[in-house]
Structure 1
């Protein structure tokens, strides 16, 4: 397990170093994940040891939310003072995300539904 954790952390470290050295707008851990993904693709699969270690990390993922919860409690006064802008931003961004997702889905499904109509009615004109 220690060797597998070392591999995971080295991928994250490599991503962090490259992101900082090249001043990339991508977070280092995301680059590290891409490096890990590329390595696993080259290897042809995920070794059992990495599966077990990743599963162990995921089982205890809730522990990683404790620092965020402490941060929220530490800044509770500021959050209550700025509650209205925060709530508006959350609802606005959620609605925007849902709207964009709906538009993209409608655009992607449009050609599929047209070809399904043609298959059902081959001689019909649109």
Structure 2
């Protein structure tokens, strides 16, 4: 599990360094996730990379983190309770902003999926 945490944090660190060094508009953790995706893809597709069972501890660590992710919401919940007077005063504005951003995120995800499906479908039909 220690190896998995080290790989995940190393990918995030490399992403942060890359983002800051090249002044990219993409956040470092996003670049780190892309790097982790490339690492996992290479692990599954190339025999020399996947020869060690330690490489599969990244998946085990990720599942453990996801299973315990609810604990990460405790500080945010405590912060909301501490600022309840602000939420009571601006509750409708916050609720509308949350609903609008959720709808926009869902629409962006759907259109991205449709775009990629058409792109992949057109490449597969060319073969």
TM-score scaled by structure 2? Answer: 0.66
Q: Does 1:18 align with 2:24?
A: no
- CA RMSD for the aligned pairs? 3.1
1:36 offset after TM fit, Å?
A: 0.8
Q: Which of 96, 99, 102 is matched with 1:88 structurally?
A: 96
Once residues 104 and 5 of structure 2 are traced to their aligned partners in structure 1, the CA distance between those partners, rounded to angstroms, is 38
- Structure 1 length normalisation: TM-score? 0.67
Aligned pair partner of 2:79 in 50, 71, 93: 71
How many aligned residue pairs are there? 108
> How big is the shift at 1:95?
4.7
Q: Which has the higher helix share?
A: 2
1:54 is displaced (CA, Å) by: 1.2
Residue 92 of structure 1 deviates from its aligned partner by 3.3
Unaligned 5+ segments in structure 2 are: 46-53, 116-127
The 1:100–1:64 alpha-carbon spacing in structure 2 relative to 1, beyond 3 Å, is closer
Structure 2: how far apart are the matches of 1:24 and 1:81?
38
